Amino acid sequence: MAGRLENKVIIITGAGGGLGSEQARLMAKEGAKIVATNLKQDPIIAPDQAEDGLWKNTLSLVDEINQNGGEAIALPLDVTQDQDWINAVNETEKHFGRLDVLSNNAGIYYHAGLLDHTIEKFHQIVNINQLGILLGMKTAIPAMKRVGGGSIINFASIYGIAGAGSSTAYQGTKGAVRLMTKSAAMEFVGDNIRVNAICPGMFDTNLFESSVPKEEWQPLVSMVPMQRFGKPHEIAYGAIFLASDESSFMTGSDLVIDGGYTCP
């Protein structure tokens, strides 16, 4: 039986992380050809290492997919760098002949109260979470036009919908991603390119573990009607839906996957 993403070529950014790696695995199982990209050196998580654990994760993820009968390659890509994007899209077209889907997944979190925000951290998070999304769309869209259309999945957050009472800069970037998504959706609807956002609730990944102190976890869980954090596959299946032709009448929308967090 054909997979839900048979022969679609998909670039995933931040593929070494919790949500990105699960998308790569499950999308490959659905027949997609995966271009798993990640920053080689993460200035936040591993500032002193030439190659950090998340890049190594990306390489072993690609091995795992290929050993399980899928098709994947790894490419270094810092989403804030124009030239990295151009190289990644060129390499994708050279290797797989086309680009159908971009999962604009890479992102960082900034866990601080407003009075503790610094200009440096503000610029860093805007560069990665917001400019990175824009550069991705800008570079991928011409390639998608060359094959008659495509689907872009931009990672926003429930914290681009509801206030959290902290992490103001992070929330600003995620709100911006939602509106950039709607704007791009309208601009390229005539090119058969759909652009949607995913808004995850709270998921226990590296992003969460490395920035939110353990003692804050339980109070956060208690705010979720389902009384638990999400699991990466619960985001990956949403991304598969948006990447596939099953979502063909959907553009400019938010897919909220949050255990009910935004209900009240």
Ligand X SMILES: NC(=O)c1ccc[n+]([C@@H]2O[C@H](COP(=O)([O-])OP(=O)(O)OC[C@H]3O[C@@H](n4cnc5c(N)ncnc54)[C@H](O)[C@@H]3O)[C@@H](O)[C@H]2O)c1
Annotated catalytic residues are 170
Chain-centroid distance of CA 224 in Å reads 22
Q: Output the smallest distance, CB 246 to ligand X, in A.
A: 22
Q: How is residue 188 written in tokens? A: 């390229």
Q: Strand 33-38 vs strand 150-155: parallel, antiparallel, or unpaired? A: unpaired
Write the DSSP assignment of 18-55 as a string of letters: HHHHHHHHHHHHTT-EEEEEE-SS-TTT-TT-SS-HHH
Is 149 or 175 the residue whose CB approaches ligand X more closely?
175
Residues that bind ligand X (CB under 6 A): 13-14, 16-20, 38-39, 42, 54, 77-80, 105-108, 128, 155, 157, 200, 202-203, 205-208
What is the rounded radius of gyration, in angstroms, for the C-alpha atoms of the chain? 17
Cβ 2 to ligand X shortest distance, Å: 28
1 or 35: whose CB is closer to ligand X? 35
- Phi and psi for 114 in degrees, rounded to 5? -55, -40
Cβ closest to ligand X, residue 38 vs residue 244? 38
Residue with smaller CB distance to ligand X, 7 or 206 = 206
Give the residue at shortest CB distance from ligand X. 17
Nearer to ligand X, 147 or 221 (CB): 221
Helices 18-29 and 232-243: crossing angle in degrees, nearest 10, is 50
| DSSP line for 196-229 | EEEEE--B-SHHHHTTS-GGGHHHHHTTSTTSS-
Distance CA 145, CA 148 (A): 5
In the complex, the smallest distance separating the C-beta of residue 84 from ligand X, rounded to whole angstroms, is 8
Total residue count of the chain as it appears in this document: 264
Give which of 161, 34, 171, 29 is closest to 109, Cα–Cα.
Answer: 171
Of 34, 142, 145, the closest CA to residue 92 belongs to 34
Distance between CA atoms of residues 236 and 242, nearest Å: 10
Closer Cβ to ligand X, 154 or 251, answer by number: 154
Output the CA–CA distances (angstroms, integers) from residue 176 to 134, 190, 236, 239, in the order listed: 10, 23, 22, 20
